[in-house]
Amino acid sequence: MERLVFYRKESVAFFESYGLENHWAVFVQSIVILVLIFTLAYLVDRVLTFVMRRVIPKIVGYTANQWDDIFMENRVFSNFAHFFPGILMQNLQDLISSSSVRWFVSTFIGVYFIVVTVLFLNALLNAIQQLFIHLKGVSAIVKIYIQLGKVVLYSLAGVAIISIFANKNFMDILAGLGAMITILLIVYKDMIMGFVAGIQLSANKMVYVGDWVELPKDGADGIVIDIGLTTVKVQNWDRTITTIPTYKLTSESFTNWRGMQESDGRRIKRHVNIDMESIHFLSEEEINTFRKIRLISEYIEDKIKIINQVNANEPEQFNQRRLTNIGTFRKYVENYLRESGYVNLDMMFLVRQLQATEKGVPIEIYMFSKIKEFIIYEGIQSDIFDHIIAIVPTFNLRLFQEPTGHNFSAIREIKNQTAE
């Protein structure tokens, strides 16, 4: 310190020896020293940056640890090197004679240290997050804590810079913000709600990155690709991305298909409507025809034996038990699915008849496909119902559908033929 003061006085005297008045000598000396300090700090920064980019990667490459590679990737070391030019400027600022220039340099150094500290801690937090993901796997709660830490870091850095320019104590500025708590709550409302929601999502294991979720209200149906402090990003199946506030996942209902993905099958629950007017008892001719169908031949024989035993003492046909084409069709579909290899028979499986409606009698398939992958699963569904729709006429049944233009054209043609 004393040596710097000595050099400062000597340098001022040097400029005075050239005929400059004291105040001009002080000004010129301060500007020259200021330029020299900034130039020296810049050169030191460039040298350290070169070392960090060329030398440190080689050292890191020889180690077996992963953490140093992650720190290098997130520029933790290079951001830490920026502290040294600041330390150099801090130690050399006493060479400046002008108090006003020295105040400017001191203020600049204070802001510089704050900015460098923020850059360093930001890189360190990114590295910690990446290191945790590398060691433990993807975890939304860690990212939320990291983002919250960054918000606190940036806020404190802003207050610190204000305290430097205002020449006020940092704690006094921080205490004064208590009066602005209402405004701060409004500004940081989404962050606070998102942070609380993130903790709930993680603690209750409600959703993870990679889950398939469905939120009809927000038009989201796809894979969660990111869970942040304030938003959750969902990549829909059409590759668009829907952004949803994090707190919505705790305040509103949504569907998470993770349970299906982790189970042993994916549900198929679809039906076809049978026209009620096509339902009837089987005739002897139909029974003989269906005996030839391998999937239901045994069923037909067993049913005929049971019916013959029950009807032995019932001469009246109306009181007898009889086979129907819809019941036989239902058994055919069941046996067809059992042999298809698509069904996980360890899970619920049934082919059932639902309540009849004005659109006919629904025959519903309720089963779980062994294959859950989306494209193959959809192909399985299509194959099953292609076959079912095509086989319906074999049982002298008709599928119900709303009248189309073709139907009306056929009616008009019949009327024209009748009129002729």
What is the b/e burial string over 304-329, where b = at least 16 CB atoms within 10 angstroms of the residue's CB? eeeeeeeeeeeeeeeeeeebebbbbb
DSSP state letter for 243? E
> CATH 3.30.70.100 region(s) of the chain?
266-280+324-406
Torsion of CA 149, 154, 158, 159, to 10 degrees: 0
Paired tokens of 36: 């020299």
Q: Give the model's pLDDT for residue 175.
A: 67
Q: Give the model's pLDDT for residue 332.
A: 95
Residue 207: how many other CB atoms lie within 10 Å: 22
Q: Identify whether the C-beta of residue 241 lies closer than 8 Å to the C-beta of residue 203.
A: no
List Cβ neighbours of 219 (8 Å cut-off, separation of 6 or more): 236, 242
Torsion of CA 123, 128, 129, 132, to 10 degrees: 160
Of residues 271, 361, 279, the one with CA closest to residue 326 = 279
Q: Give the model's pLDDT for residue 335.
A: 94
Q: How are beta strands 255-256 and 241-245 bridged, if at all?
A: unpaired
Give the SS3 label for residue 331.
helix
For 43, 123, 310, 322, 327, the CA distances from 314, given in Å and listed in that order, are: 111, 89, 8, 12, 22
Average pLDDT by stretches of 10, the chain with 420 residues: 68 70 76 86 86 73 70 79 86 80 84 89 84 66 73 81 77 65 68 72 74 86 83 88 84 80 83 93 91 92 89 76 92 93 90 92 93 88 94 93 68 66
Q: How are beta strands 266-274 and 255-256 bridged, if at all?
A: unpaired
> CATH 2.30.30.60 region(s) of the chain?
206-262
Q: Identify whether the C-beta of residue 372 lies closer than 8 Å to the C-beta of residue 261.
A: yes
The pTM assigned to this predicted structure is 0.51
Q: What CATH fold (topology level) applies to the domain 266-280+324-406? A: Alpha-Beta Plaits (3.30.70)
Q: Give the model's pLDDT for residue 168.
A: 75
Give the SS3 label for residue 239.
coil
Q: Give the model's pLDDT for residue 278.
A: 92
Angstrom distance (rounded) from CA 10 to CA 95: 10
Q: Give the model's pLDDT for residue 94.
A: 78
Of residues 189, 97, 83, 209, the one with CA closest to residue 143 = 209
Angstrom distance (rounded) from CA 73 to CA 70: 5
Q: What count of Cα atoms within 13 Å lies in the side-chain half-sphere of residue 137?
A: 3
Angstrom distance (rounded) from CA 385 to CA 367: 13
Q: What CATH fold (topology level) applies to the domain 206-262? A: SH3 type barrels. (2.30.30)
Q: Give the model's pLDDT for residue 418.
A: 66
